[in-house]
A and B are shown apart, each in its own frame.
Chain A
Amino acid sequence: MLKLIGIQKSFGNFTAVRNVDLTINDGEFFSILGPSGCGKTTLLRLLGGFERPSQGAIQLDDRRIDHLPPHQRQFNTVFQRYALFPHLSVWQNVAFGLQMKKTNPTELTARVEEALELVQMQEFGNRSITTLSGGQQQRVALARALINRPKVLLLDEPLSALDLKLRQQMKVELLALQRKLKQTFIFVTHDQEEALTISDRVAVMNNGIVEQVGTPQEIYEYPKTLFVAQFIGSINSIEGEVKAVTQDTILVSGLARRPFSIKPSRDGQRPLPLVEVGTKVKIMVRPEKLKVLKSPPGLEYNYIEGILKESLYHGPETRFLIEPKDKTNSCPMIQAVQTNSAVTARKPFASGDRVFTAWSPEDCILMGAEGPLPLPEPKTAEILSDELPIQNVVLN
């Protein structure tokens, strides 16, 4: 188990990573996701040993490792641009890690062959690095990093240098490899789709802070902060004001004559936040939760009336841009996405049509105007105790 406790890293006046607590389980495919400059690469470099934390501790199986130089850690890295040694052949690149440990020649040969086979590069041993394609270099970098059988494999945006088709393919191969080896992979990326598809859990970072840690489904469906909601996927955000609060419903005014109602999610994962009447809030709804209709829906749904401005055909789905009838500056356009099986068959809407876009009260995410709203006590306490930093660690 890998633990990061209160990790902070500053470069002069700039704090790249602040107060990060993370626990990464053995054999987990863990992603660190965030926009460029959010501190995710710095965090990875701290793990690899290329930087020392300014504060905090890193523990591997309860042993503190943050003071160890890279060559004494059981971590290996796949670098962003692979960093393959240009003066060595494929075989020599893969063998490098074992040669440094002075492994005997018989074992060395066997393990290099094994590693090359793992990434299907047996045929390429004698080739020079410069003659390889991007995907092949990627594989050699993987084999080279895996040959020391690291406790944790660190991957720094390894797919970003590949073109789309290859990226899709390598993503699947990477996941298969991880499942086969059952090693911990820590994968840094700015590509949310990559992170969502292959990770067991994802940490979303922004401005040096971990905003949320959870399964891909949790961070997509139940974002805890405004940033997570907006960074992952696209989302509609409607400003409003709380009008009434009952046991299981919050009523919010805004953008339509009838107030919107908000209910806890059906699976109970998202309880209603604690708000008072008059609080300024944001209602956030994912575009695929919206239905586009020709007439107003039943009373149990929230809806906005508007004019269809644009239908964007994407192949598997169509994205509708709807201008609300009572549009405001904060919400000039509503996005709705519908799968094409139903839509294309009838082609029911044309630009300029009057439409109604509707969604269930259970599909709303309610946020404060400035940030997350407080959640009810019991749930909060339970979540916190799970992530509380360990107090008895000596920090430098």
Chain B
Amino acid sequence: MKAALLHRSKPSAKWFVKLITTFTFLLLYIPLVCLVAYSFVGTDPVSGASFFTWNWYSEALKDEGLRSGLWISLWVGLWSTLGATILGTTAAIALERASFPGKKLFDAFTLVPLIVPEIVMGLSLLIWFVALGLTLGAFSIILAHITFSFSYVIITVRTRLKDFDPSLEEAARDLGATPAQTFWKVTFPLIWPGILSGALMAFTLSFDDFLITFFTAGVGSDTLPIKLYSMIKYGISPKVNALSTLILLATILMVLFIFNPKKKTGLAAHS
């Protein structure tokens, strides 16, 4: 737990290492910087001169299509995250703690959605939903999103379960806790960070998925990515830049809030 602090000198980076690092960072972040910059640029229709404006933001928020797309994306994200988190957590516990016939096969199958190409996944889900006679809409998108995001929840929760000493659960049982009490008082608080990061990942995946959603969405259930794509087909509007900047900001705030290192006592306590 408390590792002795050993002081050793670290080699300083060579010039070419610094160069490659700089280049990589530029490659990663220039597009984002451009996106944010363009969301503030207005063009005078007469002179063609550029100027700073907040206008695109109000335009974006006023756009009925974008608003409904955002709303559907959040709605789908919420329910698919909830579904994937519950299914993924219970599956992770079964895989880590229980033994049952066919466990290895089950284990392998839970990871298949990670490697199946999205196009195959989207197409097969579409065929399956049509065969079932399911009306394509928000519900079919939610089901589709659960199928690919629950694998990620399994991975994050399992890592957490692997890390913690099974004798903690035994200790709880030993002290008189029923299996249910053991789960809620010991297991759940200890794997909570894993569940949370799994849920966050599931939400992110759901929120920006395009391909599978495209296949499984019906009329009037366009999520934000699909809406954006269809708008771009008729020319790029800086409204899109403004909305993307807002999403970027929201993401950064969310990550800062949830992964705030000062709040990680539960996590740090057991590492």
Is A81 a contact of B165 with CB atoms below 8 Å?
Answer: yes
User: Are A96 and B172 in touch, CB under 8 angstroms?
Assistant: yes
Residues of chain A within 8 A of B177, CB atoms compared: 71, 96, 100
A87 touches B269 (CB 8 A): yes
Given contacts A50-B170, A86-B270, contact A144 B175 (CB under 8 A): yes
Asked if residues B165 and A100 are in contact (CB atoms below 8 Å), the reply is: no
User: CA separation between A100 and B265, bound complex, in Å?
Assistant: 24
Residue of A nearest to B266 (CB): A87
User: Whole-angstrom distance between the alpha carbons of A144 and B177 in the complex?
Assistant: 13
B175 touches A100 (CB 8 A): yes
The answer, yes or no, to whether B212 is at the interface (CB within 8 Å) is: no
A129 contacts B by Cβ under 8 Å: yes
B258 to chain A, nearest CB (A): 18
Interface residues on B, range: 20 to 34
Interface membership of B228, Cβ < 8 A: no
Q: Does B168 contact A (CB under 8 A)?
A: yes
- Is A77 on the interface with B (CB-CB < 8 A)? yes
Q: By DSSP majority rule, is chain B's interface helix, strand, loop, or mixed?
A: helix
Min CB gap B74→A, angstroms: 31
Q: Which one of B171, B177, B266 has the greatest number of beta carbons of chain A within 10 Å?
A: B171
In the assembled complex, which residues on chain B have CB atoms less than 8 Å from the CB atom of A145?
Answer: 174-175
Interface residue B176 (Cβ < 8 Å from any Cβ of A): yes
Which residues of the partner chain A approach B269 to less than 8 Å between Cβ atoms?
A: 86-87, 128-130
> Does B167 make an interface contact (CB < 8 A)?
yes
Q: Is B189 an interface residue (CB 8 A)?
A: yes
A83:B167 contact, CB within 8 angstroms: yes
* Shortest beta-carbon distance from A143 to chain B in Å: 12
A84: which B residues are within 8 A, CB to CB?
171
Chain A interface size, under 10 / 10 to 19 / 20 to 34 / 35 or more: 20 to 34
| Inter-chain contact B170/A148, CB cutoff 8 Å | no
A86–B266 alpha-carbon span in the complex (Å): 8
- A128 partner residues in chain B, CB cutoff 8 A: 265, 269
CA distance A84 to B175 in the complex (A): 12
Q: Are A87 and B165 in contact (CB under 8 A)?
A: no
- Write the nearest CB–CB distance from A225 to chain B, whole angstroms: 32
Q: In the complex, are the beta carbons of A48 and B174 less than 8 A apart?
A: yes
- Is B1 among interface residues, defined by CB-CB distance under 8 A? yes
Contact of A87 among B170, B171, B190 (CB under 8 A): B190
Is A314 at the interface (CB under 8 A from chain B)? no
Residue numbers in A under 8 Å from B171 (CB-CB): 77, 79, 83-85, 144
> Closest B-chain residue to A87, C-beta based?
B189
The answer to whether A81 and B190 touch (CB under 8 A), given A76-B174, A87-B266, is no
Residues 61-77 of A contacting B (Cβ, < 8 Å): 69-71, 75-77
User: Can you offer 25 A-B residue contacts whose CB atoms are under 8 A?
Assistant: A50-B173, A70-B173, A71-B175, A77-B170, A77-B171, A77-B174, A79-B170, A83-B167, A85-B172, A85-B186, A86-B190, A86-B270, A87-B189, A87-B190, A96-B185, A97-B175, A97-B176, A100-B172, A100-B176, A100-B185, A128-B265, A130-B268, A130-B269, A145-B174, A145-B175
Known: A71-B173, A71-B174. 19 other contacts (CB 8 A): A48-B170, A71-B177, A71-B178, A76-B175, A77-B170, A79-B170, A79-B171, A81-B165, A84-B171, A85-B168, A86-B190, A86-B270, A87-B269, A87-B270, A97-B176, A130-B269, A144-B171, A145-B174, A145-B175
Residues of B within 8 A of A (CB): 1, 165, 167-168, 170-178, 181, 185-186, 189-190, 265-266, 268-270
Pick the 8 closest A-B CB pairs, nearest first. Answer: A97-B175, A83-B171, A83-B167, A70-B173, A86-B269, A100-B176, A86-B270, A100-B177
Q: Which residues does A use to contact B, with CB under 8 Å? A: 48-50, 69-71, 75-77, 79-81, 83-87, 96-97, 100-101, 128-130, 144-145, 148
